[in-house]
Amino acid sequence: MKRLTGALLALLVVGVLAWAAQNPLLINGAGATFPYPIYSKWFDVYHGKNPSIQFNYQSVGSGAGIKQVTEGTVDFGATDGPMNDEQMKAFQDKRKTSILHFPTVLGAAVPTYNVPGVSGALNFTPEALAGIFLGKITKWNDPAIAGPNKGVNLPANDIVVVHRSDGSGTTYIWTDYLSKVSDEWKGKVSRATSVNWPVGLGGKGNEGVTGLIKQTPNAIGYVELIYAAQNNIPYGSVKNSAGTFVKADLASVSAAAAGAAKEMPDDFRVSITNAPGKTAYPISSFTWLLIPAKIDDTGKRDAIKGFLKWMLSDGQGNAEALSYAKLPKEVVQKEEKAISNIQ
């Protein structure tokens, strides 16, 4: 018994000493759920290379991420939709410095459906998608859908629209795209992580939307590309701004970013839905890290800058294994320059 106690005490002392010796610098972040798998992989790999730095990320949602970084309860935030001017101003007022956006990887939303008798991939025009989600196109054999799907036997059934019920970056990308291709959508519904849907049922999360579509004949909805790819969910092609029908994959999503890179603003707050380029998938988006422009703690500042540099070089190599499209090199170069804005 005595020996056991002694051993335990020794273990405790060793543990405390080890902890005191390397007590890593803890950097806290919170935000978007969509990039969580790649962020946790990055933070894990980076900690392995730099044991003195530990990133801690909570995937609480983009809205909560923006809120927490504004309040200063975390060191950095993350979001699937760029902060709007109002939110930027609120940050400026509260923290007396600006907030910087750093794109990290790319995501996309894809249309998925369950039409009895149709097994192949359907082609969707922007007009068809906007019409369906506005509730104006109500039958599967509507000419707007049937037109680009010659040879597919579309039934005369009523379309059941399914959307996300939880606030989500995927909804932001989807509604941002519809706002760009349809003036009526822009005026009536517009873009946000949750909107007032004109029609349809809501499913919670990608799995909820997929479940509803599988359960409901004649349903159509949208899910994240990564979710669709990992779960072998069939999805359709969408006509891009160059007039070609493109199926979403890592290459076509990266192509959308490359197409938009030429007009990339200096603050990186850009929507790349409906991007130019023949091979670009039109419903794609960046996801961003939100970093305050002024970080008083020099240790944390250097650690965050170091991580950003690594993320843009070696880190991008991890992206595709986890089904995220990586940044095009034009964007990487631009971001590398922007890191010096953190002071």
For other proteins, the binding residues (CB under 8 A) are 33, 60-64, 66-67, 87, 158, 160, 165-169, 189-197, 200-204, 208, 211-212, 215-216
Beta carbon of residue 185, minimum distance to other proteins (angstroms, whole number): 11
What are the residues facing 133 on neighbouring strands? none
Cβ-based nearer residue to other proteins, 141 or 215: 215
Least distance from other proteins to the Cβ atom of residue 128, Å? 21
Q: Which of 152/160 has CB closer to other proteins?
A: 160
At closest approach, how far in Å is the CB of 66 from other proteins? Answer: 6
Sign (positive/negative) of CA torsion 46, 168, 325, 68?
A: negative
Query: What are the phi and psi torsion angles at 237 (to 5°)?
Result: -95, 155
Measured between alpha carbons, how far is 95 from 72 in angstroms, rounded to an integer?
A: 8
Minimum distance of other proteins from residue 156's CB (angstroms): 15
The kind and range of the H/E element at 106 are: strand 99-114
281 vs 286, which CB is nearer to other proteins? 286
Q: Cβ of residue 169: shortest distance to other proteins, in angstroms?
A: 8
DSSP class of residue 140?
T
CB closer to other proteins, 114 vs 254? 114
For 3-33, give the DSSP string. HHHHHHHHHHHHHHHHHHHH-PEEEEEEE-S
Task: Report the residue number, 160 or 295, with the smaller CB distance to other proteins.
Answer: 160
Q: In b/e form, how buried is each residue of 35-58, taking b as 16+ CB within 10 angstroms?
A: beebbebbbeebbeebeebbbebb
> Are 205 and 166 spatial neighbours (Cβ–Cβ below 8 Å)?
yes
Smallest distance, other proteins to C-beta of residue 61, A: 3
- CA geometry: angle 12, 49, 73, nearest 5 deg: 75
Rounded Cα distance, 237 and 248, in Å: 7
Of the pair 107, 200, the CB lying nearest other proteins is at 200
